[in-house]
Each structure stands twice: as C-alpha cells, then as structure tokens.
C-alpha cells in the first residue's frame, strides 16, 4: 500500500488553513456579521471564479450551521454555485439578501440575480423576490435588504444553489441558524482540497489521495464518496483496526488522530 503522511500537527489542527483554500474569508466580518433580528452570526464565505463550475463549488458540510455566502458578478450571465448538506430531520433555512449600496438598492426586481435551489433529488425551485425589507446590521455598520426567506423541512442529501446575474451585481445567501463553527469542503488541486471527480477513474493516484491529509474525518469521508472511492479506517487515535490485506486500487485506508486525517494508504 502507498502511504501519504501528514505534515500537520494532528494534536492541534488549524482548521482555518483549509477554509482559506476554498474561499476568501472576510476576517473583519467573522465576529460581527448578522442577518436576523436575533443577531445570529453567519460565518462569511466569498465565492470565487472557481465556483462558476458546480462540481468545483464549495460544500458547506452542515446546512444547519450559519453561513453567509457572498457572490459578486461583474457582468450579465455570470454564474456562481455553492452546495450544502442536510440530514434527515433537519430544517432548511435560507435567506436571499442584497447589500444596501448605490448599485443594488436602485436595482429593479426584474434585474436582480436569479437564485435557484436544487434539492438532492434534482428538483429545481427559483427563489423569487418576495420582499425588499431593509435592516441595519449594527456590528458591521452595514445595511441589507431581505429579498426572500425560506424555512422548510429539509430533504437528506446535498443541495445546490445557482446564482445567475442579469447585470453587474452582488448578493448574499444566508444558510442555517446554528451559531457554531462549520466546515467548508474545498475542491481542486492542492493540500486539503477534495480532488475533482475523474469519470471512470480506475486507480487512485497517491497525489490525489494525499489531498485528504489534514481534512476532518467528515470531510474526508464525503470527499471519498463524491469521487467514488472505497473508504475505510485503519487506525484511530493509536488504535489499529482489523482490515483485509487485499490490494484495491480504488480504495483508501485512513489513519485518524483527534478527528483529523494524518495518513492515507492507497490499496
């Protein structure tokens, strides 16, 4: 088996290092941004150009955790995607907002970006503008407008949000209500990013497998599933597990310490 070891300290993993690989973190807003009358804090995520491809768009691992996803488009017909996961019994909370700036507050409803929610079964629902309710966010010192709000029972699986501009514009999509730290799964090349799925992949390369090192256990398991890899745990916190010794080129065996992937065996 081919082994890829961690370069990180598993005893004190720095979770923000991976987060910055997926998105540009708006650090000045992390402690201050809120989008509800109860002043619920949303962790900010900025969609980059790579999010124009749905398969490379970030995944919020827990859709019940509060995130504020920012999308800025410079011209018409630009698209930004992001995804979020829900479990059975979850509630889906999503808010479509625009900032109170010179461009957006004067933009007519028909020119606002189109926001489409795609459920785990592929059903599409356009989040149509239903209001333009102003509120002032005192901590960040900025104003926003609610355009639409959804709160409904969630379907288990991965949701996709597609944002399409009709002209240069900026929007914010708030997801979730739980004020706890949340993880975002990155896609692409490089450490702690989930490799983009290769159709018909027969053999996992050490380089692609090695990208899981440093991820949380939940992130690594999800990444393996998305790529169609078999996934198993060989060691956790110093305890070895009995595993078969047969070689499989489509399987990864992981070692975990303190909830973080520290080593990968291909085969």
Confidence check: pLDDT of 32 > 50: no
Note the pLDDT of residue 141: 83
Contact (CB, 8 A) for 127 and 148: yes
Sorted by where each begins, the domain ranges of the chain are: 2-13+188-266, 24-185
Q: What is the pLDDT of residues 9-24, one digit of tens each?
A: 222 222 333 443 333 3
Q: In the structure, what pLDDT confidence band is assigned to residue 41 with cuts at 50, 70 and 90?
A: low
Domain 24-185 has CATH 2.60.120.380: yes
Over residues 183-210, mean pLDDT: 93
The pTM of the whole model exceeds 0.75? yes
Mean pLDDT across the stretch 186-203?
Answer: 92
What length is written for the chain?
A: 267
CB under 8 A, 24+ apart: contacts of 195-203:
195/223, 195/227, 196/55, 196/56, 197/55, 197/226, 197/227, 197/228, 198/227, 201/227, 201/228, 201/250, 202/249, 202/250, 203/249, 203/250
Residue with tokens 């991976």: 18
Find out whether 236 and 242 touch, Cβ atoms under 8 Å.
no
pLDDT tens per residue across span 110-145: 999 999 999 999 999 999 999 999 998 776 788 999
Q: What is the pLDDT of residue 104?
A: 97
Looking at residue 43, its pLDDT comes to 87
Q: Which residue has the tokens 């999509």?
A: 173
pLDDT of residue 165: 98
d(CA 101, CA 96): 16
- Tell me the average pLDDT across 104-115: 97
pLDDT per residue as tens digits for the range 61-79: 999 999 999 999 999 999 9
C-alpha distances in Å from residue 155, one per residue of 41, 118, 121, 176, 211: 24, 11, 9, 14, 30
- Which helix (H) or strand (E) segment holds residue 219: the answer is helix 217-227
Q: What is the pLDDT of residue 47?
A: 96
* Mean pLDDT taken over the chain: 86
Local confidence band at 59 (pLDDT 50, 70, 90 cut-offs) = very high
pLDDT at residue 31, rounded to an integer: 35
């Amino acid at each position: 088996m081919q082994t890829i070891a961690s370069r990180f300290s598993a005893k004190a993993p720095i979770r923000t290092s991976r987060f910055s690989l997926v998105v540009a973190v708006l650090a000045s807003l992390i402690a201050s941004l809120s989008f509800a009358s109860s002043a619920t804090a949303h962790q900010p995520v900025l969609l980059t150009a790579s999010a124009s491809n749905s398969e490379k768009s970030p995944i919020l691992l827990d859709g019940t955790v509060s995130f504020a996803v920012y999308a800025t488009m410079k011209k018409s017909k630009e698209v930004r995607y992001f995804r979020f996961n829900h479990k059975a019994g979850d509630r889906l909370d999503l808010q479509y907002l625009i900032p109170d700036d010179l461009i957006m507050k004067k933009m007519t409803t028909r020119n606002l970006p189109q926001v489409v929610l795609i459920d785990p079964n592929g059903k599409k629902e356009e989040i149509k503008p239903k209001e333009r309710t102003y509120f002032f966010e005192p901590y960040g010192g900025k104003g926003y407008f609610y355009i639409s709000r959804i709160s409904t029972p969630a379907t288990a699986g991965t949701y996709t949000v597609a944002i399409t501009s009709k002209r240069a514009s900026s929007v914010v999509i708030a997801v979730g209500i739980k004020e706890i730290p949340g993880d975002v799964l990155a896609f692409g090349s490089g450490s702690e990013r989930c490799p983009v799925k290769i159709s018909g992949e027969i053999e996992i390369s050490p380089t692609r497998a090695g990208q899981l090192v440093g991820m949380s256990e939940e992130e690594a398991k999800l990444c393996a599933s998305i790529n169609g890899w078999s996934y198993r745990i060989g060691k956790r916190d110093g305890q070895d597990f009995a595993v078969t010794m047969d070689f499989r080129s489509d399987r990864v065996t992981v070692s975990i310490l303190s909830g973080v992937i520290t080593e990968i065996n291909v085969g």
